[in-house]
Amino acid sequence: MIDTIANVLLQGILLGGLYALFALGLSFSMGVMRFVNIAHGDFIVLVSFLLLVLTTALGLNVFVALILVLPVTFAGGFLLQRFLLQRAAGSDVLLPLLITFGLSIIIQNGLLQTFGADSHVLAGAGTLQTASIALTSGIYIGVLPLLTLLTAVALVLGLDRLLNYTRLGSHIRAVADDVAAADLIGLSSGRVYALAMGIVGVTVAIAACFMGLNMNFDPTSGPDRLLIAFEAVVLGGLGSLWGTLAGGIVLGIAQTVGAHFDTAWQLIIGHVVFLVLFLLRPQGLFPKY
């Protein structure tokens, strides 16, 4: 009994690590650029397909492929912000929302057109996906989920250091504080936003790699990832990266507990727990703003 509870909680925490990975990029862009990228989940799925092509067509190890992809997604985020999203910056919320909404639909249907509707999973990481560690007789930890959670923690630490201890980080926080003031003193917000979106691109690639290794994905998986990511960010409190990690873990536990009783209810329980917690504590667990 105790073993079961411990196991469910543990698996929930591990799943939460994956959800936090989905959410960190969104958290960063919501905290810094104050906009919700509706296409966030679709970007993750898009990069997963890119990794799929690299691992299957070129036979690369998935982590090698990830390293190759990182500069691409950084540049992708940078250029997207610079040439598309920046045109909507400073206007009301409607424009960025509609543009990313349009992007979301374009990506989903572009992927459907190219890859069909089948679902896929990333391979090419050797025995990583099947290996596990036995903690006690009844409790096993998968090596991959553990690695996923540790990556999420490392990513939070890295982003936190970047924001608080680097020059770029202080520029990003300045722009998040007051865009107009940044522009007035010559700290061009467009450049800072573009760099920030490049960083989001890096987190998207990492999330895509671990999503593809941990679960099935198909061209229309994006919105579900977006919703989970959004819930993790809101639960954790806007602007707090550690909060986002906590939010992801709360959702992971909620879903695992739900699934323990009836797998068909896993998703509903996750959403309902989000809604209830949100009503009880709208500012989230660790609000910053």
Contact pick of 96, 145, 222, 243 for other proteins (by CB under 8 A): 96
* Of 146, 147, 196, 201, the residue nearest 171 (C-alpha): 196
* Choice between 57 and 117, CB closer to other proteins: 117
* Choice between 141 and 229, CB closer to other proteins: 229
Which residues, numbered 212-271, are part of the site for other proteins (CB under 8 A)? 223, 226-227, 230-231, 234, 264-265, 267-268, 271
CB of 29 to other proteins, least distance (A): 11
Centroid of chain to Cα 129? 20
- Only one of the segments 51-59, 65-73, 173-181, 249-257 lies at the binding site for other proteins (rule: CB under 8 A); that segment is 173-181
Contact pick of 98, 131, 135, 150 for other proteins (by CB under 8 A): 98
* Of 167, 146, 176, the residue nearest 33 (C-alpha): 176
Map 191-238 to HEC letters. HHHHHHHHHHHHHHHHHHHHHHHHCCECCCCHHHHHHHHHHHHHHHCC
Size of the site for other proteins (CB under 8 A): 58
Contact, 26 vs 40, CB < 8 A?
A: yes
Phi-psi region of 189 (alpha: psi -120 to 50; beta: other; left: phi over 0): alpha
Q: Which residues bind other proteins (CB under 8 A)?
A: 35-36, 38, 84, 87-88, 91, 93-99, 101-103, 105-106, 108-110, 112-113, 167, 170-171, 173-174, 177-178, 180-188, 191, 223, 226-227, 230-231, 234, 264-265, 267-268, 271-272, 274-275, 278-279, 282
